[in-house]
Amino acid sequence: MIKNNLNKILFLINSLILLLLLISYITPVLHPDYLWHISLLGIFFPLILALNILFSIYWIISWKKYFWANLIIILLGNTHINNIIANQKNKLDNESFNEIQKNKEHQFDQLINIMTFNVRLLNQNQNIKDNNIENDIIDFIKEKKPNILCVQEYNKSNKSNELFKFYNSTNETDNKLQILTKYNVINYGYIESKNSCIYKDIILNDTIRVYNIHLQNNWVKTMKASYQKRANESIIIKEHINQSPYPVIICGDFNDTPISYTYSKIKKGLLDAFQESGIGIGNSYVGVPSLRIDYILHDMNYKSYNYKKHKYELSDHYPISCNILIP
């Protein structure tokens, strides 16, 4: 009797959580102008998914047929699940790349390393009580030596200018977004504002366009406006991307999860380096294990390898990087 009553209560709770999971599936296609509260489910999607998996296990152990409803609805969200959990489809070491280049069809392919990092003003506001953070960030970047570096929330200082010297680059945009590379740059510009999206056209084997994006932050008091502004920014940026004369690589801090209108809009027609070559549960925000808001997206004809989250707590974001094979 007690167990039956408990199962009834659990069934009601499970039904509610299952409904939330089902509703969350429409988040990527629903502009926040309409029922913006649904957008919040993107933040809690990993938790909602985990709870439904636990309920499925409980019903199986209890020999209850309720687990079928959980299983079917979970499987309906397979695309969304792949956005938060990766199984490292692509992996490449130097030996493997050398083997690829032995093939005449790929002998001119170019493998580049790209990194994106929100440096939180290089700790100008002392969010981390450590006076060496700025030096540590600069030293970290110099050690990793990415071929292309996209920085968000950059802060101009004598120390940070070492990065421009390191890349033999000039500070054309002089703002909080920077794209640094030793490759030749033939054009650059910005969309909306210099602090939301910039781009550079870079010469490799062929010319590519690299975008660096930093979208509207989340503030509790203006959450609705933040979701709506990011969505509108994503529409404008995507229109610009679609008109690019060159293949594109998109980096940046979207301030939104993979279960969101913003991510879905920008990612359409592109590949996500995390999905292609990451492993495990995606996470790029320090302190929240399942929150991924920083991205590297790229042209469908490119292949990304060795996606990595660098576990250095030098900001409120982890730096992420990957190798991209340019045909």
Does a structural domain hold residue 50? yes
Encode pLDDT of 25-73 as tens digits: 999 999 999 989 999 999 999 999 999 999 889 888 887 787 888 889 8
| Same domain, residue pair 105 and 72 | no
Q: What is the DSSP letter of 215?
A: P
| Same domain, residue pair 297 and 173 | yes
Q: What is the pTM of this model?
A: 0.92
Angle at 10 between CA 5 and CA 13, to 5 degrees: 130
Residue with tokens 């939301």: 196
Domain with residue 290: its CATH number is 3.60.10.10
Does a structural domain hold residue 82? no
The reported pLDDT for the residue numbered 64 is 78
Please, are residues 323 and 275 in contact by the beta-carbon 8 Å criterion? no
Does a structural domain hold residue 81? no
| Same domain, residue pair 45 and 103 | no
Show the domain range for 60: 2-76
| Same domain, residue pair 144 and 31 | no
| Same domain, residue pair 58 and 149 | no
Does a structural domain hold residue 221? yes
Identify residue 79 by its one-letter amino acid code. Answer: T
**Which of 76, 106, 126 marks a domain boundary?**
76
| Same domain, residue pair 177 and 45 | no
Which stretches of the chain score pLDDT less than 50? none
Question: What is the domain count for the chain?
Answer: 2
**Which of 53, 76, 99 marks a domain boundary?**
76
| Same domain, residue pair 51 and 95 | no
The reported pLDDT for the residue numbered 94 is 62
**pLDDT, mean over the chain:** 88
Please, are residues 316 and 118 in contact by the beta-carbon 8 Å criterion? yes
Does a structural domain hold residue 116? yes
